Each structure stands twice: as structure tokens, then as C-alpha cells.
């Protein structure tokens, strides 16, 4: 679980990267079903920021880090 209340997009990315560095991962980059899952606790404004637009920031972050990110508002 990652806390993202009143924080920036880059801090979210850094925290997920830190957690990934400590994990013993066995995922296959080409198989999204094997990617680790994260629950990201956000406020309403951050949820809007991450999910608005044609290419959402959440989707870009998820695919670039090869993780699943679930939002909890």
C-alpha cells in the first residue's frame, strides 16, 4: 500500500520504485497478469489528476513500472 495524500506524482513514482527494489519479483514483463499489485490511497483531487485525459497518468505509470495500481479514494 502506498499513501498518496497531498503528494506529487513524482513522489508516488519514487515510492513505488523503492518498494519494487526491495521485492523479490518473479514477474514476466510481457505478461501483465504477473505484475505486482499496489493499492494507492489518494484524495479526490489526486484521483482526478491520475485518471483524467485521453492517456491517463495512472495508465502511463502502471505500464512503465510494470505494476498494477488500484486507487482507493
**DSSP calls for 10-21:** HHHHHHHHHHHH
pLDDT of residue 63: 92
Q: SS3 of 61, please?
A: helix
Domain ranges of the chain: 2-72
Instruction: Dump pLDDT digits (tens) for 43-73.
Output: 898 899 899 988 899 999 999 999 999 999 9
Average pLDDT along the chain: 87
pLDDT of residue 2: 65
Greater model confidence, 73 or 7: 73
| Residue whose entry in the numeric block shows the C-alpha cell 521485492 | 23
What is the Cα–Cα distance from 4 to 41, expressed in whole angstroms? 6
Relative to beta strand 68-72, strand 2-4 is unpaired
- Does the pLDDT at position 25 exceed 70? yes
Amino acid at each position: 500500500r502506498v499513501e498518496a495524500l497531498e503528494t506529487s506524482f513524482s513522489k508516488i513514482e519514487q515510492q513505488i520504485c523503492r518498494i519494487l527494489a526491495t521485492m523479490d519479483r518473479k514477474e514476466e514483463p510481457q505478461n501483465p497478469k504477473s505484475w505486482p499489485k499496489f493499492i494507492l490511497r489518494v484524495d479526490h483531487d489526486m484521483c482526478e489528476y491520475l485518471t483524467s485525459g485521453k492517456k491517463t497518468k495512472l495508465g502511463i505509470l502502471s505500464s512503465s513500472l510494470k505494476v498494477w495500481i488500484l486507487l482507493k479514494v
